[in-house]
Amino acid sequence: MSTPFQSLGASFTDVTRRLGLQTTSRPQLLPSHDQRQSFTGFEDILSAYLPSELVTEIKRAFFYAEQAHYGQARRTGEPYVTHPLAVATVLARMHMDHESIMAALLHDVIEDTGVTKEDIRTQFGEEVADLVDGVSKLTQVDFDSAEQKQAENFQKMALAMARDIRVILVKLADRLHNMRTLGALSPEAKKRIANETLDIYAPIATRLGMNEVRMEFEDLGLRTLYPMRARRLEAARETAGGRRKQLIEQISEQLEQALAGEEIEAEIAGREKHLYSIYSKMREKRKSFSEIMDIFAFRIVCEDVDSCYRTLGIVHSLYKPVPGEFKDYIAIPKANGYQSLHTILKGMHGVPIEIQIRTRDMEDMANNGIAAHWLYKSHQDNINIPQMRAREWVQGLLEMQQTAGNSLEFIESVKVDLFPDEVYVFTPKGAIMELPKGACGVDFAYAVHTDVGNRCVACRINNQLAPLSESLESGVTVEIVTSPAGRPTPSWLNFAVTARARSQIRHFLKQQHHEDSVDLGQKLLEKALTALHPDDIVSVESQKLLISEHYPKSTFDEILTDIALGNQLPQVVAANLLGQAGASLENDTSALEIKGTEGYVLVYAKCCCPLPGDPIEGFLSPDRGLVVHRETCRNLSDLREQTERLMPLRWDDQIEGVYPVAIRIESANKRGMIATLATKLSAIGLNIERISTQDESVHFSSIIIELQLNSRVHLARVMKRVRVMEGVRKVVRCSRR
């Protein structure tokens, strides 16, 4: 009887020639007896759902991989090809398409052998080559750290996922077999791989609805990181299982009888909690093992959706439902497409019973998610919900990658986005949107559209005006209030939780910082050029030509940004451009106008808190930009020796906005004084940023209040009101903490 490989003998020469391998003995290239047995089982799985011509293509890919990895062994001592064969078997058990399985067989050849992407494209086509390349790690690049290496490789894979979602399925199968075979690695490598799996790949499996893969990732990760805890939990679970068996059988029998009485066909099975779930709940809820295992879980699989809802009514009439513990994920599926009815009941003797009710298709989706009923090439209308949601998520990854500053920022954004719990909120038109637990108005705004997020100023939750930072609860209706003058602020990063919102906020702030820097740098450079060349204005076009001539390694915007950030002195750049190096600008007394719209590159010094109306002067600080001080500031007097960095400034006549300032109030040390002050200041429309106190003596205390005011006149009015309050001895302006 011929082996599966003998029928492919004609391709020996071609494969060895393409790989550049010298082989004279054909038998030594055949797999071992155990390997043949493994492939035979693999072939049986394939033949059960794929046509013979596609199985033959997969055989050819296996033979190619076996040839490419010839002579290589895993740390376990097994031939290396056993790993890609195991990865392909994982996908075959999910009934994945033949191209995914071929890519799984070939997924390490680019990384570990002399085979190139072009070789694979020639042999197996464009799609298989792209899948293999998407899974392959970056091996020709030197990284500064293991974290950067992980981030860069994940970013590469994410880009490949955006082109073909099957890339992540091959990677998950690859990681699954690696986790199953960690035994030969060092303890450090085991922990690193296990942590990476729990941090990234298990949540991705959850996000894609692949429950079985996720559970195995988590259990294997627990056994690797905490082997003793895992063994003890497993032993305790087995012991508890014996005691629980009789009660589970009784509940199952009652459920079967109740359903049979209503002529509903369904399968009932007790659900066993996996180790990691038990461990997580014990840690998060601070409960003992016995408390976690007190809940009896069952799954009821029905024929259709109508039977699911009828079954729900039957079990609720059989046992008392626990208020607030019913969730309808059939009507409102989870973000990964998961659908089921969840309810918790009080059974006999008050025993809690957790029941999940779903159809057979929903059961398949719950276990395999995106890989269930794979229809990659089929019509869009036939694509299942997890696949559709997965593609939407991957498109979101691509958008995050484009706005992220670097790969480390990108991977952190991805981790933030992989939340297992969701809240479901409604738009004013009744559309449902799912967001991570803890999401706020800003997250909702960016989920609607980036422009809505960038212009939002407030939100209405159930028609009640609310701050953007307020957390959203399931079931509420959210409306975003926008303004043409609205713009993101760095403080939004303190409460935004979705990766999309956070990445878009960062992107806007970076872009705004760049634009502000260029604008301020332009003003500073033109001021310096005018001082050196007062008779003629140097146009922007001329400035660009001069900079390209004198600073060939930098762009025009880069020079302007360096000037704004204080890394280049404007008078030095101007002198170089005009060929007047060393020229003095001490006679330049013209003041630069401050309009209050300069953005993040203009810093108002905390030591003196300048307000419109105060005489001001600027200091061009390296990396910080132009720092605005009051002329009387003590810190500014210490900087006067650096005359080249000092800049005369004045407030624009039409300046608007609010500015931070602090006042120190000496008052009687009596109960309720701070509350009285806060109420008084809030009543006149002031925004209090911070309050701190310091006891001066038994009878008097010092209260420092940081406010937002619009001018020196405004400050004088506020101080006058505070001085006349009962118990206040003295009010003075001071520096911010």
CATH no. for residue 331? 3.30.460.10
211 and 242 co-located in one domain: no
Q: Is 711 part of any domain?
A: yes
Say whether both 408 and 345 belong to one domain.
no
Among residues 61, 86, 111, 66, which one has the least CA distance to residue 175? 86
**Overall average pLDDT of the 244-262 stretch:** 85
C-alpha closest to that of 647 among 625, 632, 626 = 626
Whether 399 maps to a domain, the answer reads yes
Domain boundary among 467, 498, 529: 498
Q: Is the dihedral of CA 142, 144, 150, 152 positive or negative?
A: negative
For residues 471 and 362, state if they share a domain.
Answer: no
Judge if 549 and 620 occupy the same domain: yes
Which residues, including other chains, have CB under 8 Å from residue 190's CB and lie 6 or more apart? 182, 224
560 vs 146, more confident:
560
377 assigned to some structural domain? no
Mean pLDDT of all residues in 716-734: 88
Residue finishing a domain among 369, 399, 424: 369
Question: According to the per-residue pLDDT averaged within each range, which of 349-363, 408-422, 542-556, 672-686 is highest?
Answer: 349-363
Q: Which of 124-128, 171-175, 430-434 has the lowest mean pLDDT?
A: 430-434
Check residue 221 and give its pLDDT. Answer: 93
Q: How many domains in the chain?
A: 5
DSSP state string for 293-336: TTSEEEEEEESSHHHHHHHHHHHHHHSEEPTT--EETTTS--TT
CATH of the domain at 63: 1.10.3210.10
Q: Looking at the predicted structure, is the pLDDT value of residue 301 above 90?
A: yes
Sign for the pseudo-dihedral over CA of 528, 531, 533, 534: positive
Q: Is residue 160 part of a domain?
A: yes
The answer on 76 and 23 residing in a single domain is: yes
| Given the residues 34, 43, 78, 112, the one annotated as active site | 112
Residue 1 lies in a domain: no
DSSP 9: G
Q: Give a three-class secondary structure readout of 13-25.
A: HHHHHHHCCCCCC
What pLDDT digit, counting tens, does each position of 583-628 carry?
555 555 678 888 776 666 788 888 888 998 899 988 888 877 888 8
Domain identity same for 26 and 137: yes
Quote the pLDDT of residue 185: 84
Q: Is residue 379 part of a domain?
A: no
pTM exceeding the 0.75 threshold for the entire prediction: no
Arithmetic mean of pLDDT, 108-132: 88
Task: Flag the least confident range among 321-335, 528-542, 546-560, 625-639.
Answer: 528-542
What percent of the chain shows pLDDT beyond 70?
Answer: 80
**H-state helical runs in 117-269:** 117-124, 126-135, 146-163, 166-180, 187-196, 202-207, 211-225, 227-261
From the candidates 78, 111, 212, 434, give the one annotated as an active-site residue. 111
Same domain for 271 and 333, yes or no, is yes
Q: Say if residues 176 and 154 touch (Cβ distance below 8 Å).
A: no
**pLDDT tens figures, 488-515:** 888 888 889 887 888 888 888 888 878 8
**Confidence tier at 543 by pLDDT (50, 70, 90):** confident
What is the domain-level CATH number for residue 436? 3.10.20.30
Cα angle 152, 153, 157; round to 5: 115
Domain membership flag for residue 723: yes
Q: Which of 563-572, 639-648, 708-717 has the highest mean pLDDT?
A: 708-717
Q: For residue 297, tell me if it sits in a domain.
A: yes
Q: How confident is the model at residue 650 (pLDDT cuts 50, 70, 90)?
A: confident
In a shared domain, residues 117 and 211: yes
Q: Do 307 and 212 fall into the same domain?
A: no
- Residue 112 annotated to the active site: yes
Average pLDDT value for residue range 254-271: 88
Stretch among 19-23, 432-436, 661-665 having the lowest mean pLDDT: 19-23
381 beta partners? none
Same domain, 533 and 491: no
One-letter amino acid of 433: M
Confidence of residue 485 (pLDDT cuts 50, 70, 90): confident
pLDDT reading at 10 higher than 50 = no
What's the pLDDT at 623?
72
Among residues 224, 256, 284, the one where a domain terminates is 224
Which residue is it, tokens 């704004």? 564
**Are residues 232 and 342 located together in one domain of the fold?**
yes
Q: Print the domain residue range for 453.
A: 386-498
How many CB atoms are closer than 10 A to CB 151? 21
Confidence band (pLDDT; 50, 70, 90) for 17?
very low
Task: Give yes or no for residue 358 having a pLDDT over 70.
Answer: yes
CATH value at residue 676: 3.30.70.260
Q: Among candidates 304, 411, 404, 412, which has minimal Cα distance to 360? A: 304
Asked if 513 and 498 count as a contact pair (C-beta separation under 8 A), the reply is no
Distance (Å, rounded) from C-alpha 91 to C-alpha 173? 7
Q: Residue 145 burial (CB < 10 Å; 0-12/13-18/19+)?
A: exposed
Mean pLDDT of the chain: 79
DSSP code of 590?
Answer: P
Which residues, other chains included, contact 64 with Cβ-Cβ below 8 Å and sequence gap of 6+? Answer: 15, 105, 106, 109, 123, 124
Separation CA 703–CA 317 (nearest Å): 63
**Torsion angle, alpha carbons of 410, 411, 416, 422, to 10:** 100
CA distance 59 to 51: 13
Say how many C-beta atoms besides its own lie within 10 A of residue 362's C-beta. 25
Among 555-564, 574-583, 661-670, the minimum mean pLDDT is found in 574-583
Report how far residue 622's alpha carbon sits from residue 563's, in angstroms, rounded to the nearest whole number.
9
pLDDT digit string, tens, across residues 654-664: 887 788 888 88
Residue, of 435 and 146, whose pLDDT is higher: 435
Q: Are residues 557 and 531 in the same domain?
A: yes
